[in-house]
Amino acid sequence: MALYCYVARPPGQETKFPLTIFFLLPIDLRDVQKVIEKANKWIALVVKTLANTGLHISELIDIKPEDFKEFNQNYLKIGINGKCDEARFIFLSS
């Protein structure tokens, strides 16, 4: 398994310390399925939700009960405040 690394810095700024360094581990569907199989029900639900919706962990943590709206009889519409308070919606089957 390869390990990728990149350094994040605001565009147009010269490199200063401290830098934020992100390590990216390439994972695929099999890796996610292994985690879900071995995890307890709560962790499995969190991993499934993150994998199927593209949410960031912080966005998932910030969801409140009032963010859930019924979209139709099959789906729930959930309001998400993303980066820079950018509002968007995800849909979950009920």
Condensed to tens digits (0 to 9), the pLDDT of residues 51-63 reads 888 888 888 888 9
Domain boundaries, the chain: 27-93
pLDDT for 12 beyond 80: no
pLDDT average, residue stretch 66-77: 90
CB neighbour list of residue 48: distance below 8 Å, 6 or more residues apart? 36
pLDDT digits (tens, 9 = 90+) for 21-64: 555 667 788 888 888 899 899 888 888 888 888 888 888 888 99
pLDDT at 15: 53
pLDDT for 66 beyond 90: yes
